[in-house]
C-alpha cells in the first residue's frame, strides 16, 4: 500500500481553497440570467416566458418574475434575448428563504421606446 | 455490412421484407402469432429483445410493440400487435428478457400477460397508485391484486437498506433477504424516483421535450437525448448536418469517459480503498471541468437537440486538457490493478454468466463484461458514413473485475474516437420537417444501448413516447448477480460495477 502514499506525495496537493475563494474554473459554470429592464419589452418577455422549459419565468402585468429556484441555467433565454439578457455568473444561490429566490424585473423597454416615463 | 437474410418467421419464403437501406422495419402481426414469432426470432435469427411497451392505438385499442435488435444485420424489427382485451400473449414465458416490461405494461395500461403468474411492482409507488399519472389510465383499476406477495419465510429475514442511503447515492430500497451474512434473495424498489416522464412528455413540441428527456437520467443525458432526438428525426424524416453528427459523437464519448471514471471511483469507495477513491475522483473532477470547458456544462446538458446540436465543442480545450487527464487516469488504474485488497474484492464478485447476460438481453459494459459483444455504435451505425468504428471491448468472466476492465478499455477507445471526430465536429441544426410520423432512435450510452420511440401528431407534437435508457435493461440482472454467493458487503461493489442509475430505470 505504500506506493499509494508515494504516488500521492508526488502528485502534490489537490485540494483548493473553496469556498473561501471561488475557483477560477467556476466562472464558466452555467448561471442564472440577469435582465436589463430597459431592454425588456412585453413581446420579448412573452417569448422568453414561452421558451423557458423549467417554468422559471412568468409575466405579471408590467413585471418579469424570475424564480431562481426553478432556473436550471440552460441558457435558452440568453440565446433568445440578445442584449436584454446576460449571464450573471452567480451560482452560489443557496438560501433558507425561498422568497429570496424570486426576483421581479420591471419591463421598461416599451415605455422608453414610446418616449414614456 | 453483410445481411444474412430477413427473419423467415415474418414471411416464410426468405424474400427480404427488410430492405438493406432500412434500419428499421415495422410489421403488424396478429396477437395469436406474437409468441411464436418472438420465439423464432430469438432462437433462429439471434434477435435480441431490446424493448417491449404498449401505446394508445386507434379506437381506444392498445398497441403492443416489441422491438428486436438484429445486430448482425444492423437493423431493428418492430412488431406491432393490437390488443383488444385485457390480456396479451406472455412473451416472458419464452423470453425472460420481457418480464420487467410486462409488469410495466400492466402498471400503465392495466392489461396483463395471459397465465397465472403474479407480476412485480416496478414503477408506480404503492402509496400513490391511484393518483399517479399513468399512460392509458383505466378507472377503478386495482393493481395490487395481481402482484406477487412480498414474503420472507423460514430462518431468513429481510435486512432493509434504503431508500435513503449513502450521501450521493440515489434513492433505492434494497431488501436483502438473509439468514446472517450471505444474500439469499433481494427485493429492489425503484419507484421512489418515478416521475412519469413518458406521460408528461405527451403534447409537447420535440424541442421542449428534449429538455426533459435529457433529465430522465442525468448521467446518461447525451446518450438518452441522442436516442430521443434520432427518434424525432426519423419520425419527421429530418437529416442532421455532418458536423453536428460528429459533435454528437464527441459529446457521447466524453460522457462515456467521465462515467467510467466515476464507476472506478465508486468501486474504490466500495472496496474501502479511500486513497484510490480520492485519486479517481480527482480524475473525475478534471473530466467534468473539461466537459464544462468544451461544451459549457459539466454533465453535457444542452448539447444535443432535434435536428442537430445547440453547441459545438471547443476543440482546443479538449485537445489541451484531455490527454493529461487520461494520463492521470491510467496512472490510477495501473495502481488499482496491482492493489490486492482492491482486485480481490472485485474478482468473482457479482457474477453474471454469459448465458444469463444473453437470456436477459443485457446491454453495455455489463453485457460486454459477460462475453456479449454488443455495441450499437458498431452494430447500428447512424453517423454520416465516414465515422470511425469502435473496437468492442469484451471480457468473459462476468464478475465486477471484468466490468471494470471493460470500462477502462473503453476509456481508451473513447479517447481514440474523440480524436477522430474532433476535426470534423461543428455546430449545425436543420429545422425539423413538418408533419407527423413515428420513429425509433438509439445510441450507445455509457450504460449501453439507449432506445426511444416517438410518435408525432399532425402538428408535430408528441403523441406518444417511450424512453428506454440502458438502466432499464440492466437492473434485471442485478438480482442474479447479488444472489451468486455474495455477502452484504459485496452488494455495493456490485452496484458500483454495474454503474446503473435508478432515475434511468424509474424515469
- The string of pLDDT tens digits covering residues B224-259 is 999 999 999 999 999 899 999 999 999 999 999 999
Average pLDDT over residues B192-221: 92
- Does pLDDT of A101 surpass 70? yes
Contact status of A74 with chain B (Cβ, < 8 Å): yes
Contacts of A8 in chain B (CB under 8 A): 275, 279
Number of H helices, E strands in chain B: 18, 15
Q: Which residues of B touch A53 (CB under 8 A)?
A: 208, 211-212
pLDDT for the residue numbered B143: 61
Residue B15 has pLDDT above 70, yes or no: no
Q: Does the distance separating the beta carbons of A7 and B279 come in below 8 Å?
A: yes
CA distance A90 to chain B (A): 15
Residues with Cβ < 8 Å from B323, sequence gap 6 or more? none
Q: Quick one: pLDDT at residue A9?
A: 81
Burial of B429 (0-12, 13-18, 19+ CB in 10 A): middle
pTM higher than the cut 0.90? yes
A8 vs B212: CB contact, 8 Å cut-off?
no
- Give the containing element (helix H, strand E) for B95: none
pLDDT at A116 over 90: no
Q: Which residue spans within B29-162 are E strands per DSSP?
A: 48-56, 62-70, 75-83, 87-88, 112-113, 157-161
Asked if pLDDT for residue B426 goes beyond 80, the answer is: yes
* Least Cα separation, residue B449 to chain A (angstroms): 26
Pairing of strands B24-28, B75-83: parallel
A30 touches chain B (CB under 8 A): yes
Q: Which helix (H) or strand (E) holds B17?
A: none
* Strand (E) or helix (H) holding B449: strand B448-456
| Of B7 and B331, more confident | B331
pLDDT digits (tens, 9 = 90+) for B348-365: 999 999 999 999 999 999
Residue of B256, B259, B278 lying closest to B269 (CA atoms):
B278
Cβ pair B289:A25 closer than 8 A: yes
Residue A7 touches partner B, C-beta closer than 8 Å:
yes
Distance from CA of B332 to the nearest CA of A (A): 9
The β-bridge relationship of strands B75-83 and B62-70 is antiparallel
Closest alpha carbon to B134 in B51, B54, B52: B54
| pLDDT classification of B21: cutoffs 50, 70, 90 | very low
Q: What are phi and psi of B269, to 5 degrees?
A: -60, -45
| Percent of chain B scoring above 70 in pLDDT | 91
Work out the mean pLDDT of chain B and round it to a whole number: 88
pLDDT tens digit sequence for A21-77: 888 888 888 889 999 999 999 999 999 999 999 999 999 999 999 999 999 999 899
* Cβ neighbourhood burial of B168 (10 Å; 0-12, 13-18, 19+): exposed
Tell me what pLDDT residue B14 has: 35
Instruction: Write the pLDDT tens digit of every residue in B258-268.
Output: 999 999 999 99
What's the farthest any 2 CA atoms get from each other in chain B?
63
Mean pLDDT, range B161-187, rounded to an integer: 85
Cβ-based neighbours of B124, under 8 Å, separated by 6 or more: B107, B132, B134, B143, B191, B194
Residues of A in contact with B289 (CB under 8 A): 25
Domain ranges (residues) in chain A: 23-113
Q: Tell me, yes or no, if B289 comes closer than 8 A to chain A by beta carbon.
A: yes
User: Considering CB atoms only, which of B212, B276, B282 is closest to A4?
Assistant: B276
Indicate the fold that domain B8-146 takes in CATH.
Answer: Beta Polymerase; domain 2 (3.30.460)
Q: Would you kindly state where each structural domain of chain B is located, as residue ranges?
A: 8-146, 157-193, 204-506
Tell me the pLDDT band of B298, cut-offs 50, 70 and 90.
Answer: very high
Do the Cβ atoms of A28 and B293 come within 8 Å? yes
Q: Does B341 touch chain A (CB under 8 A)?
A: yes
Buried b (16+ CB within 10 A) or exposed e, B180-210: eeebeebbbbbbebbbbbbeebbebebbbbb
Chain B residues in contact with A29 by the CB 8 A cut-off are 292, 298
Among candidates A8, A29, A75 on the partner chain, residue whose Cβ is nearest the Cβ of B275: A8
- Does residue B432 carry a pLDDT above 50? yes
- What is residue B431's predicted lDDT score, i.e. its pLDDT? 87
Q: Helix or strand or coil: residue B93?
A: helix
What's the CATH fold of domain B204-506? Cytochrome-c3 Hydrogenase; chain B (1.10.645)
pLDDT at residue B145 tops 80? no
Give the CATH number of domain A23-113.
3.30.70.3270
d(CA B7, CA B91): 18
* Alpha carbon distances (Å) from A94 to A23, A101, B38, B289, B299: 18, 9, 53, 22, 21
pLDDT given for residue A68 in this prediction: 94
Please determine, for residue B446, whether its predicted confidence score (pLDDT) is greater than 50.
yes
**Does B211 have pLDDT greater than 70?**
yes
Question: Confidence class of residue A110 from pLDDT cuts 50, 70 and 90?
Answer: confident
The pLDDT assigned to B385 comes to 67
Nearest C-alpha in A relative to B204 = A53
Using the predicted structure, report yes or no on whether residue A113 has a pLDDT greater than 90.
no
* Mean pLDDT for the stretch of residues B56-78: 89
Cβ pairs bridging A and B (under 8 Å): 37
Query: For residue B25, is pLDDT > 70?
Result: yes
Q: How far is A38 from chain B (nearest CA, A)?
A: 28
Q: What is the strand order of the sheet B24-28 is part of? A: B24-28, B75-83, B62-70, B48-56
Amino acid at each position: 500500500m505504500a506506493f499509494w502514499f508515494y504516488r500521492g506525495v508526488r502528485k502534490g496537493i489537490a485540494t483548493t481553497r473553496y469556498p473561501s475563494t471561488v475557483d477560477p474554473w467556476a466562472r464558466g459554470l452555467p448561471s442564472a440570467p440577469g435582465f436589463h429592464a430597459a431592454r425588456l419589452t412585453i413581446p420579448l418577455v412573452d417569448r422568453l416566458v414561452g421558451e423557458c422549459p423549467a417554468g422559471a419565468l412568468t409575466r405579471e402585468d408590467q413585471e418579469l418574475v424570475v424564480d431562481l429556484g426553478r432556473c436550471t441555467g440552460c441558457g435558452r433565454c440568453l440565446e433568445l434575448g440578445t442584449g436584454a439578457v446576460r449571464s450573471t455568473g452567480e451560482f452560489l444561490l443557496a438560501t433558507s428563504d425561498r422568497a429570496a429566490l424570486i426576483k421581479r424585473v420591471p419591463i421598461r423597454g416599451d415605455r422608453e421606446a414610446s418616449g414614456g416615463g | 455490412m453483410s445481411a444474412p437474410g430477413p427473419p423467415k418467421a415474418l414471411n416464410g419464403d426468405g424474400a427480404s421484407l427488410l430492405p438493406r437501406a432500412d434500419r428499421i422495419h415495422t410489421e403488424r402481426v396478429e396477437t395469436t402469432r406474437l409468441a411464436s414469432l418472438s420465439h423464432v426470432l430469438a432462437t433462429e435469427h439471434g434477435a435480441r429483445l431490446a424493448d417491449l411497451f404498449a401505446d394508445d392505438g386507434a379506437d381506444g385499442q392498445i398497441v403492443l410493440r416489441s422491438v428486436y435488435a438484429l445486430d448482425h444485420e444492423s437493423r431493428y424489427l418492430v412488431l406491432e400487435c393490437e390488443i383488444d382485451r385485457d390480456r396479451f400473449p406472455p412473451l416472458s414465458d419464452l423470453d425472460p428478457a420481457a418480464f420487467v416490461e410486462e409488469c410495466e405494461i400492466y402498471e400503465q395500461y392495466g392489461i396483463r400477460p395471459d397465465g397465472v403468474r403474479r407480476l412485480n411492482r416496478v414503477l408506480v409507488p404503492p402509496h400513490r397508485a391511484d393518483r399517479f399519472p399513468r399512460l392509458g389510465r383505466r378507472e377503478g383499476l386495482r393493481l395490487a391484486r395481481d402482484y406477487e406477495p412480498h414474503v420472507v419465510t423460514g430462518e431468513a429475514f429481510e435486512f432493509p437498506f434504503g431508500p435513503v442511503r449513502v450521501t450521493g447515492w440515489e434513492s433505492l430500497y434494497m431488501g436483502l433477504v438473509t439468514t446472517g451474512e450471505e444474500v439469499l434473495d433481494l427485493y429492489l424498489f425503484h419507484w421512489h424516483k418515478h416521475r412519469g416522464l413518458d406521460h408528461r412528455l405527451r403534447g409537447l413540441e420535440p424541442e421542449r421535450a428534449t429538455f426533459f428527456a435529457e433529465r430522465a437520467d442525468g448521467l446518461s443525458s447525451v446518450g438518452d437525448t441522442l436516442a430521443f432526438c434520432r427518434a424525432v428525426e426519423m419520425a419527421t424524416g429530418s437529416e442532421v448536418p455532418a458536423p453536428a453528427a460528429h459533435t454528437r459523437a464527441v459529446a457521447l464519448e466524453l460522457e462515456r469517459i467521465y462515467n467510467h471514471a466515476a464507476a472506478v471511483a465508486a468501486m474504490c469507495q466500495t472496496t474501502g480503498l479511500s486513497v484510490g477513491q480520492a485519486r479517481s475522483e480527482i480524475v473525475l473532477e478534471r473530466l467534468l471541468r473539461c466537459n464544462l470547458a468544451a461544451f459549457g456544462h459539466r454533465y453535457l446538458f444542452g448539447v444535443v437537440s432535434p435536428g442537430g446540436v445547440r453547441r459545438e465543442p471547443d476543440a482546443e480545450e479538449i485537445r489541451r486538457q484531455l490527454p493529461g487527464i487520461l494520463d492521470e487516469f491510467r496512472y490510477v488504474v495501473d495502481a488499482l490493478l496491482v492493489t490486492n485488497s482492491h482486485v480481490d474484492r472485485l474478482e468473482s464478485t457479482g457474477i453474471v454468466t454469459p448465458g444469463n447476460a444473453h437470456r436477459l438481453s443485457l446491454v453495455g459494459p455489463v453485457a460486454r463484461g459477460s462475453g456479449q459483444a454488443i455495441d450499437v455504435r458498431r452494430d447500428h451505425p447512424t453517423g454520416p458514413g465516414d465515422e470511425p468504428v469502435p473496437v468492442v471491448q469484451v471480457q468473459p468472466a462476468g464478475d465486477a473485475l471484468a466490468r471494470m476492465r471493460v470500462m477502462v478499455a473503453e476509456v481508451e477507445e473513447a479517447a481514440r474516437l474523440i480524436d477522430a471526430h474532433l476535426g470534423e465536429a461543428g455546430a449545425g441544426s436543420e429545422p425539423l420537417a413538418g408533419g407527423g410520423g413515428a420513429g425509433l432512435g438509439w445510441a450507445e450510452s455509457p450504460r449501453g444501448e439507449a432506445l426511444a420511440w416517438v410518435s408525432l401528431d399532425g402538428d408535430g407534437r408528441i403523441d406518444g413516447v417511450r424512453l428506454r435508457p440502458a438502466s432499464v435493461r440492466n437492473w434485471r440482472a442485478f438480482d442474479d448477480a447479488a444472489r451468486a454467493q455474495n455477502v452484504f458487503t459485496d452488494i455495493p461493489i456490485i452496484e458500483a460495477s454495474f454503474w446503473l442509475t435508478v432515475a434511468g430505470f424509474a424515469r
